[in-house]
Chains A and B, each alone.
Chain A
Amino acid sequence: DGGITQSPKYLFRKEGQNVTLSCEQNLNHDAMYWYRQDPGQGLRLIYYSQIVNDFQKGDIAEGYSVSREKKESFPLTVTSAQKNPTAFYLCATKWLNNEQFFGPGTRLTVL
């Protein structure tokens, strides 16, 4: 099936640990995005990548890092520098018509 997969669905992290959230797509889309959603809030852009080996900071990039070594994959690392990482993380891809497709999300909780 074509689509976007995110893993894990739920993730628990101890304070001071780095964790990596996976995002994989088989839609052959060039652009990929990471958003963060806090309870009762809209989505905010963390990082985006328009092509392989290139990525740009979004509005709230501090404490996060990404890589884009393959077209299909855009993993997000939440580092210990992110002071309040508990949130719902959504990965998205975009085709030429501007429509963004979203994955099922990863819910990260810091213990």
Chain B
Amino acid sequence: AQKVTQAQTEISVVEKEDVTLDCVYETRDTTYYLFWYKQPPSGELVFLIRRNSFDEQNEISGRYSWNFQKSTSSFNFTITASQVVDSAVYFCALSAPQWAAGNKLTFGGGTRVLVKP
């Protein structure tokens, strides 16, 4: 069975501070995919990143960066120099290989980020 744990339920920071969101996962698959989604107050989920289990390189996209460590089953997400527009709920998710039946996403419980001006 797959499981995703986001231990931080809510993080509050002041604008321009960095914030790191933790994500720990469990899976028996040797091939899998990890995702981060952002859910602003409007409710729609916005895709941020997809990472496959073979690629452990860290990735940076603007103020966003991701640290994938297979040895600790973690896929952490950092927002550098946070802005008020970053306020949202962020979800980490795990998926079986695309050839697996259903190929569903297993979501963590989400971390609410509140960036204060």
Residue tally, chain B, CB below 8 Å to A = 23
- A interface secondary structure, majority: strand
- B interface secondary structure, majority: loop
Q: Which residues of A, 31-45, contact B by the 8 Å Cβ criterion? A: 31, 33, 40-45
Q: Say yes or no: A94-B103 contact (C-beta < 8 A), given A42-B110, A104-B42.
A: yes
CB <8 Å contact, A105 and B47? no
Q: Say yes or no: A45-B43 contact (C-beta < 8 A), given A98-B50, A98-B98.
A: no
Q: Say yes or no: A102-B44 contact (C-beta < 8 A), given A41-B110, A42-B110, A97-B50.
A: yes
CB <8 Å contact, B91 and A42? yes
Q: Say yes or no: A99-B109 contact (C-beta < 8 A), given A43-B91, A58-B104.
A: no
Q: Say yes or no: A103-B102 contact (C-beta < 8 A), given A42-B91, A98-B33, A98-B95.
A: no
Interface size grouping (class) on chain A: 20 to 34
Cα A98 to Cα B95 with chains together (Å): 8
CB <8 Å contact, A98 and B44? no
Q: Which of A42, A44, A97, A105 has its CB near the most chain B CB atoms (within 10 A)? A: A42
Q: Which residues of A, 76-111, contact B by the 8 Å Cβ criterion? A: 88, 90, 92, 94, 96-105, 107
Q: Which of B35, B42, B98, B105 has its CB near the most chain A CB atoms (within 10 A)? A: B105
Chain B residues near A102 (CB, 8 Å)? Answer: 37, 44-45, 47
Complex interface bits, B63-104 against A, C-beta within 8 A gives 1, otherwise 0: 000000000000000000000000000010001001001111
CB <8 Å contact, B98 and A103? no
Residue B107 is within 8 A (CB to CB) of chain A in the complex: yes
CB <8 Å contact, B45 and A90? yes
Q: Say yes or no: A98-B43 contact (C-beta < 8 A), given A42-B108, A42-B109, A43-B91.
A: no
Chain A residues near B43 (CB, 8 Å)? Answer: 88, 90, 104-105, 107
